[in-house]
Chains A and B, each alone.
Chain A
Amino acid sequence: MDSLRNSLRRLNPLSTATADAETGTGVGVEADADERGGLVDRLRRSDFVESMPFWLPPTALVLLFVYGAIAWNVVISFTGWSGLGQPDYTNFTLEMYRQMPADQDFIASLRNTVALLIAFTSASLVVGLGLALLVDRKIRFESTFRTIYLLPMALSFVVTAIFWSWMYADPDGLINTALHGIGLEALAYDWLGDPRFRLAAVIVALIWQFSGYCMIVYLAGLRSIPDDHYEAARIDGASTLKLYWRVIIPQLRSSTVGATVVLMVFALKAFDFIYVMFGTNPGRSVDILAVTMYREAFSASEWAYGAAIAVVLFALALTIIGPYAYTQYKRGAL
Chain B
Amino acid sequence: MADLQLDDVTKVFTERDGNEITAVDDVSLTIEDGEFLVLVGPSGCGKSTTLRMVAGLESISSGQIRLGDTVVNEMKPKERDIAMVFQSYALYPHMTVRENMSFGLEESTDMPATQITETVESAAEMLGIGDLLERKPDDLSGGQQQRVALGRAIVRDPEVFLLDEPLSNLDAKLRAQMRTELQRLQEDLDVATIYVTHDQTEAMTMADKIAILNDGELQQVGTPLECYHEPANLFVASFIGEPSMNFFDARRDGTQLVTDQFRYDLADETVAALGEHDDLVLGVRPEDIELRSTGSDEHSYETTVDVVEPMGNENNVYLTFGDKHAESFVATIDGMNRVEAGQSVVAHIPEEAIHLFDRSSGRALRNRTLEPTAVAEAQF
A residues bordering B, Cβ < 8 Å? 226, 228-229, 231-239, 242, 246-247, 250-251, 253
Contacts and interface: CB of A to CB of B under 8 A. Distances in A.
B107 A237 contact: yes
A233 to B, nearest CB: 8
Given A235-B77, A235-B82, A235-B84, A229 B104 contact: no
Given A236-B108, A247-B92, A251-B94, A228 B78 contact: no
B166 to A, nearest CB: 12
A237 B86 contact: no
A227 to B, nearest CB: 9
A247 B99 CA distance: 11
B103 A246 contact: yes
B76 interface: yes
Contacts of B90: 226, 228-229, 231-232
B55 interface: yes
Could you say which interface size class chain B belongs to?
A: 20 to 34
Contact of A226 (B57, B83, B88, B95): B88
A234 B77 CA distance: 6
Contacts of A234: 56-57, 76-78
A250 B95 CA distance: 9
Q: What 8 pairs between A and B have smallest CB-CB spacing?
A: A237-B108, A237-B78, A228-B90, A236-B104, A232-B90, A237-B107, A250-B94, A238-B107
Interface in B123-160: 152, 156
Max chain B CB contacts within 10 Å: which of A226, A242, A247? A247
B92 A238 contact: no
A228 B86 contact: yes
B93 interface: yes
Max chain B CB contacts within 10 Å: which of A232, A233, A235? A235
Given A228-B86, A242-B107, A235 B92 contact: no
B51 to A, nearest CB: 11
B94 A235 contact: no
A237 B56 CA distance: 11
Nearest to A252: B94
Interface in B195-248: none
A226 to B, nearest CB: 6
Interface in B67-123: 76-78, 82-84, 86, 88, 90, 92-95, 103-104, 107-109
Contacts of A226: 88, 90
Contacts of B86: 228, 231-232
Contacts of A229: 90, 92
Max chain A CB contacts within 10 Å: which of B93, B103, B156? B103
Interface of A is mostly: helix
A323 to B, nearest CB: 20
A235 B103 contact: no
Nearest to B85: A232
A59 B84 CA distance: 56
13 contacts: A228-B86, A228-B88, A229-B90, A231-B55, A231-B57, A232-B90, A232-B152, A235-B84, A236-B107, A236-B156, A238-B107, A242-B107, A247-B92
Contacts of A247: 92, 103
A235 B58 CA distance: 12
B53 to A, nearest CB: 13
Contacts of B152: 232, 236
Contacts of B84: 231-232, 235
A82 B156 CA distance: 74
Nearest to B99: A246
A220 to B, nearest CB: 16
A232 to B, nearest CB: 4
Contacts of A238: 78, 103, 107
Nearest to A250: B94
Contacts of B78: 234-238
A251 B93 contact: yes
A231 B92 CA distance: 11
A248 to B, nearest CB: 9
Given A231-B55, A247-B103, 20 more contacts: A228-B86, A231-B90, A232-B86, A232-B90, A232-B92, A232-B152, A233-B92, A233-B107, A234-B78, A235-B57, A235-B104, A236-B103, A236-B107, A236-B156, A237-B78, A237-B109, A246-B103, A247-B92, A251-B92, A253-B94
Given A242-B107, A250-B94, A235 B83 contact: yes
B352 to A, nearest CB: 48
A242 B106 CA distance: 11
A41 to B, nearest CB: 51
A48 B268 CA distance: 90
Contacts of B109: 237
A247 B100 CA distance: 10
A237 B77 CA distance: 7
A93 B311 CA distance: 86
A128 to B, nearest CB: 20
A151 to B, nearest CB: 27
Contacts of A237: 77-78, 104, 107-109
A247 B57 CA distance: 17
A238 B79 CA distance: 11
B281 to A, nearest CB: 41
A236 B94 CA distance: 16
Contacts of B88: 226, 228
Contacts of A250: 92, 94-95
B101 to A, nearest CB: 10
B314 to A, nearest CB: 39
Nearest to A247: B92
A13 B216 CA distance: 59
Nearest to A236: B104
Contacts of B83: 235
B3 to A, nearest CB: 21
Contacts of A228: 86, 88, 90
A233 B107 CA distance: 9
A247 B152 CA distance: 15
A242 B56 CA distance: 18
Contacts of A231: 55, 57, 84, 86, 90
A250 B77 CA distance: 23
A235 B55 contact: yes
Contacts of B107: 233, 236-239, 242
A233 B55 CA distance: 12
